[in-house]
Amino acid sequence: MGVVGVMRSWLCVCMVAVLLLLASPASCAGFDELFQPSWAADHVLYDGELVQLKLDNYTGCGFASKSKYLFGKTTAEIKLVPGDSAGTVTAFYMSSDGSNHHEFDFEFLGNTTGEPILVQTNVYVNGVGNREQRVGLWFDPTTDFHNYGILWNQKQVVFMVDETPIRVFENKEDRGLAFPKDQPMGVYSSIWNADDWATQGGRVKTDWSHAPFVTTYRNLQIDACEFGTAAWEEDVRRCSGDGEENGRQFWWQAPIMEELSVHQSHQLLWVRAHHLVYDYCADDARFPTTPPECER
């Protein structure tokens, strides 16, 4: 075979490899593959790479993952409701089922035009929440997409904004405290009217003349251990036992992922110093006795 023939064969192999890669569901899963509308489906709009959730004076809406997961990371690029969004809440979260459920929440609290949109995070363990923190973002989340992610392994839950950690919930089982590690969780998002509490404690109500309120998503990703592929005990063992699947260790279970890096720790300190506006751990009126997980 001559040089030209060799080059043609090589190009053919490369093109086939590229096509196979592009066709791989893991590399480019669409919204329909991972998610489905969970309520008010006519208000969940998706076409191509963009997904929109719409709130009007008739209803809000939401979507949910088709599968549940035990440990991993989920992310979404979100552009929040522009303009006057007072009274509205957009949520991006993970949750298990039942009254004793676990839950990790991002809740974006709408505001009047020009006022900052706050991000409230919350953690439920065995059905108990009341662990709110609120952060003011260092950018306008309504003018462009930003990445919001939840990393979950057996040692910590990390809430991230553009890969900057804004909150860490650590495993403190050695102190007798429960940690969410035994229930598979779905991935959800929704938008609804919460003007009884969302904006300035409910003092500012939703102005329906600005409806519909629309939150836009793209690049929704779930990189996690899918649950429900086998018997419950086998799934638990596979997802949390030795942290391996098909002979490979799950990246989120690696020792380096069990705590923040030095750089991430500095980022978290910066967020808390400059952008934290509420922390339940410091709310003596609500909690005269410091919640045990807050103690260092």
Active site residue 103: yes
Residue for token digits 């997961």? 69
Out of 33, 49, 77, 107, the active site residue is 107
Contact 140, 116 (CB under 8 A): no
Catalytic residue among 33, 49, 77, 103: 103
Q: Give the separation between CA 152 and CA 252, rounded to whole angstroms.
A: 8
Please indicate whether residue 173 is annotated as part of the active site.
Answer: no
Show the tokens assigned to 152.
């979950």
Q: How many CA atoms lie within 13 A of 202 on its CB side?
A: 3
Residues known to be catalytic:
103, 107
